[in-house]
């Protein structure tokens, strides 16, 4: 369960940026986005490449705090959400990649079309090379935690905290039940330093909501 929670932490980073940049510059590039009662919603469960671009300068150490909530749409056996961090450039339309960036993704698919994606619940890390090209860096089978995908848990609003250093590639993902505890991993040094002016928040085949401020 702890591994599953920690992977979720990675995927929610974009929501933290809302409070930091106050959505001063953002674009609803694809999907159906709406701000209601200080939460940002993506309400089109059929959108496969729903995307919101947010301007946020990123370099060196970064701290992100936020919450995220599942709102429905994965009843057909497929759904996912995630975000691109350290994006260098964007396009305000649906796209597979998002410039040069890193995509952290949580996926549920009962019939994946790629042999590299585990059936059921999984997590992926992609290196985005351009708007149309991405490289799968890692794919993790999370089916040990699929029993958590029930209504009792899915409607919970979960708080998260992440610390990431674009200079060293070190990322610390904090346990939401104990913020003195964190999981640590490192991005390959050949891709450093990580810098960008944008974050792209994405959903695929499901609805999500994210915090606007704390």
Domains identified in the chain and CATH numbers? 2-211 (2.60.120.560)
What local confidence, expressed as pLDDT, does residue 52 receive? 94
Sheet containing strand 120-128, strands side by side: 26-30, 50-58, 196-204, 78-87, 101-109, 120-128, 134-141
What local confidence, expressed as pLDDT, does residue 136 receive? 94
Q: Is the pTM of this model over 0.85?
A: no
What local confidence, expressed as pLDDT, does residue 158 receive? 62
Q: Mark the ranges of the chain whose per-residue pLDDT is less than 50.
A: 1-21, 213-214
Residue of 125, 59, 60, 133 whose CA lies nearest to 95: 133
What local confidence, expressed as pLDDT, does residue 192 receive? 96
pLDDT digits 0-9 by tens, 127-155? 999 999 999 988 888 787 666 665 666 67
| Spatial contact of 207 and 73, defined as CB atoms under 8 Å apart | yes
């Amino acid at each position: 369960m702890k591994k599953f929670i920690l992977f979720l932490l990675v995927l929610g980073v974009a929501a933290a940026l809302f409070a930091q940049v106050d959505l001063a510059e953002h674009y609803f590039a694809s999907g159906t986005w709406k701000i209601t009662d200080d939460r940002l919603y993506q309400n089109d469960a059929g959108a496969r490449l729903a995307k919101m671009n947010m301007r946020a300068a990123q370099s060196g150490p970064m701290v992100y705090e936020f919450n995220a909530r599942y709102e429905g749409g994965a009843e057909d056996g497929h759904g996912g959400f995630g975000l691109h961090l350290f994006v260098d450039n964007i396009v305000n339309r649906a796209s597979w990649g998002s410039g040069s960036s890193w995509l952290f993704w949580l996926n549920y698919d009962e019939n994946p079309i790629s042999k590299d994606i585990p059936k059921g619940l999984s997590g992926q890390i992609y290196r985005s090379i351009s708007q149309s090209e991405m490289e799968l860096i890692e794919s993790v089978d999370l089916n040990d935690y699929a029993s958590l995908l029930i209504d009792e848990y899915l409607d919970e609003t979960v708080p998260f905290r992440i610390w990431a250093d674009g200079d060293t590639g070190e990322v610390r993902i904090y346990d939401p039940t104990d913020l003195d505890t964190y999981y640590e991993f490192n991005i390959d040094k050949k891709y450093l330093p990580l810098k960008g002016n944008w974050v792209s928040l994405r959903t695929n085949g499901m609805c999500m909501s994210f915090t606007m401020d704390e």
